[in-house]
Amino acid sequence: MRMEGPAGDEHAEPLDTIDLYDPTRYATGAQHRAWHRLRREAPIWPHRTGEGIPFWSVTRYREVAAVLMDDKSFSSAYGTILAVAAGDSAGGRTINLMDQPRHADVRLPTMRLMSTHTSRQRGPQVREHVRRLVAESFDAGGVVDVASLMLHLPMAAVGETIGLPVEYWAELPRWAMAGVAPEDPHYADGTPTATLTKAHHRLIAVFSELIRQRRAQPGDDVISVLLGLDYGGRPMDEREVLLNCYSFAMGAVTTTAQVASHLLLALAERPEIWRTLRAEPDLVPSVVEESLRWASPTNHLLRRTVKPVEIAGTRLEPGELVAAWVASANRDESVFPRPYEFDPRRSPNPHLAFGVGAHRCIGAPPAQVVIGLLLEEMLARLDSFEVAGPVTHLRSNFINGITSLPMDFQPVTARRAAVIA
Ligand code: HEM
């Protein structure tokens, strides 16, 4: 999705015909206009999915945060994305699709593997993976498709933590993206249904084999922890472990890579920020947070009411669907001054890119570490870079993705490289 402000006449589209479900809207940037208008005029607004299932949209920071924080009224167990508004078949069985108390059974033991402390400790190892990934493209210079390159960044961050051996790192990201955007021509392998089925089978086959191995020889990784945890007084069964492995892999791959691609695009389009960053590398942590706000890789998170609740003056009955548009909240002008500007010094930056509340992203620390390391490698190896061809965006109302981003890299001059070494 394009990231610029609500350009054009937002009133050209009557409020009651705004369709936030249509995936093509997100390939053109038209959603910003719609979100801007909804924030101002209709902070809660009724819509329908392509199949006619009704849902409410909340677009302001305040209501988005309120919905996500109140997990007693807004359940995750029915499904959390609009694509499965009819009900997710994994509902109630994976970490992201559970309510209390089962949710804590899975979250607490796995969280330890991805804490801020553990992620920082793993920094040197992750740096090596990031170097291996980018060194060749950055140092040789020339044109590279950044969207494909960055698809491998999540494995550098959490491949080992999840328990995925390196031989799967090359292919798994493509299958994960096909699983989340089977309609996008970039990931299509036949019809959307065929693409989804193939991606699903490949991921399930990999994790089934790894589960078998970890049963015989446990390690210190997500797969082993899932196999050993106390799930309401019993172990998880094979299917439950499998589905949760799937969730962790999807959670990592479909988001982290997109933040990296959006960040490189934002910097290429704003060389003055790249120059500032080179002069002040201490800005890296702040640029990481701004890139998360800027990219907001999950456009929305869906919830279902389990009790009567009032939101933005509208009373909802139990069983109603609410899409909390995180990416709109991250452009809410009442919280973020000049929200359509990429501000490398933005502070405070209370973005909701990782969600908030009981389900806040468990992989936030490793994601922040790997994006920071990527920036450090860029500073060490690149003089400049520019967009070198058409940029294409993912057709998805869920993931704000880039499918193609040709970029021309100019490596640091030999003299500067010698100083850095
Ligand atoms: C920049 C990168 C990332 C972004 C923007 C992101 C975004 C999110 C968001 C918005 C949620 C909340 C979902 C909800 O409330 O329904 C979430 C949950 C989750 N994320 Fe991430 N994620 C990122 C990286 C990762 C990584 C590296 C992992 C590693 C495995 C991961 C695994 C998960 C899991 C397992 C959950 C479910 C947590 C729960 O339900 O308790 N994510 N993520």
Query: Residue 113: CB within 6 Å of ligand 1?
Result: no
Confidence grade of residue 231 (pLDDT, cut at 50, 70, 90): very high
Predicted pLDDT at 416: 59
CATH number for position 108: 1.10.630.10
Residue 3 placed within a domain: no
Beta bridge partner(s), residue 184: none
Nearest atom, ligand 1, residue 296 CA: 5
Query: Residue 107: CB within 6 Å of ligand 1?
Result: yes
**Domain residue limits at 137:** 10-420
8-17, 108-117, 186-195, 336-345 — which is least confidently predicted? 8-17
Write out the two tokens for 215. Answer: 């049963």
Nearest atom, ligand 1, residue 357 CA: 15
Q: Which of 160, 296, 361, 370 to mutate to test the pocket of ligand 1 (most atoms within 8 A of CB)?
A: 361
Predicted pLDDT at 418: 55
Residue nearest to atom 19 of ligand 1 (CA): 361
Q: Which of 255, 303, 322, 399 to mutate to test the pocket of ligand 1 (most atoms within 8 A of CB)?
A: 255
Asked whether the predicted pLDDT for residue 11 surpasses 80, the reply is no
Confidence grade of residue 258 (pLDDT, cut at 50, 70, 90): very high
Predicted pLDDT at 109: 97
Q: Find the 292 Cα to ligand 1 centroid distance in Å.
A: 12
Query: Residue 256: CB within 6 Å of ligand 1?
Result: yes
Q: How far apart are CA 63 and CA 356, in angstroms?
A: 12
Residue nearest to atom 9 of ligand 1 (CA): 354
Residues of the chain with pLDDT > 90: what percent? Answer: 90
- By the 8 A CB rule, do 397 and 357 touch? no
DSSP category for residue 359? T
Residue nearest to atom 33 of ligand 1 (CA): 251
The per-residue pLDDT for range 342-381, each reduced to its tens digit, is 999 999 999 999 999 999 999 999 999 999 999 999 999 9
Measured CA distances, 20 to 38, 83, 342, 350 (Å): 11, 12, 24, 24
Query: Residue 255: CB within 6 Å of ligand 1?
Result: yes
Query: Residue 97: CB within 6 Å of ligand 1?
Result: no
* Cis peptide bond prior to 101, omega within 30° of 0: yes
- By the 8 A CB rule, do 21 and 48 touch? yes
Residue nearest to atom 18 of ligand 1 (CA): 361
Query: Residue 251: CB within 6 Å of ligand 1?
Result: yes
Residue 5 placed within a domain: no
Residue with token string 């021509």: 185
**DSSP H or E segment with residue 292:** helix 284-295
Query: Residue 76: CB within 6 Å of ligand 1?
Result: yes
Asked whether the predicted pLDDT for residue 414 surpasses 80, the reply is no
Long-range contacts of 88-95 (CB under 8 A, 24+ apart): 90/243, 90/246, 90/247, 93/239, 93/240, 93/243, 93/244, 94/240, 94/243, 94/244, 94/246, 94/247, 95/244, 95/247, 95/248, 95/362
Average pLDDT over residues 261-290: 98
Predicted pLDDT at 16: 87
Predicted pLDDT at 1: 44
Residue 4 placed within a domain: no
Q: How would you classify the pairing of strands 74-75 and 314-316? A: unpaired
Q: Find the 146 Cα to ligand 1 centroid distance in Å.
A: 22
Residue 30 placed within a domain: yes
**Number of domain units in the chain:** 1
Q: Find the 251 Cα to ligand 1 centroid distance in Å.
A: 5
Q: Find the 256 Cα to ligand 1 centroid distance in Å.
A: 9
Query: Residue 372: CB within 6 Å of ligand 1?
Result: no
To 10 degrees, what angle do helices 172-180 and 238-269 make?
A: 90
- By the 8 A CB rule, do 379 and 278 touch? yes
Residue 148 placed within a domain: yes
Predicted pLDDT at 222: 98
Nearest atom, ligand 1, residue 97 CA: 40
Q: How would you classify the pairing of strands 314-316 and 309-311? A: antiparallel
Q: Find the 257 Cα to ligand 1 centroid distance in Å.
A: 13
The CA R_g of the chain, rounded to the nearest whole Å, is 21
46-55, 112-121, 190-199, 411-420 — which is least confidently predicted? 411-420
Burial of 62 (0-12, 13-18, 19+ CB in 10 A): middle
Residue 406 placed within a domain: yes
Residue 349 placed within a domain: yes
Residue 1 placed within a domain: no
Asked whether the predicted pLDDT for residue 279 surpasses 90, the reply is yes
180-194, 207-221, 276-290 — which is least confidently predicted? 180-194
**Number of residues written out for the chain:** 421
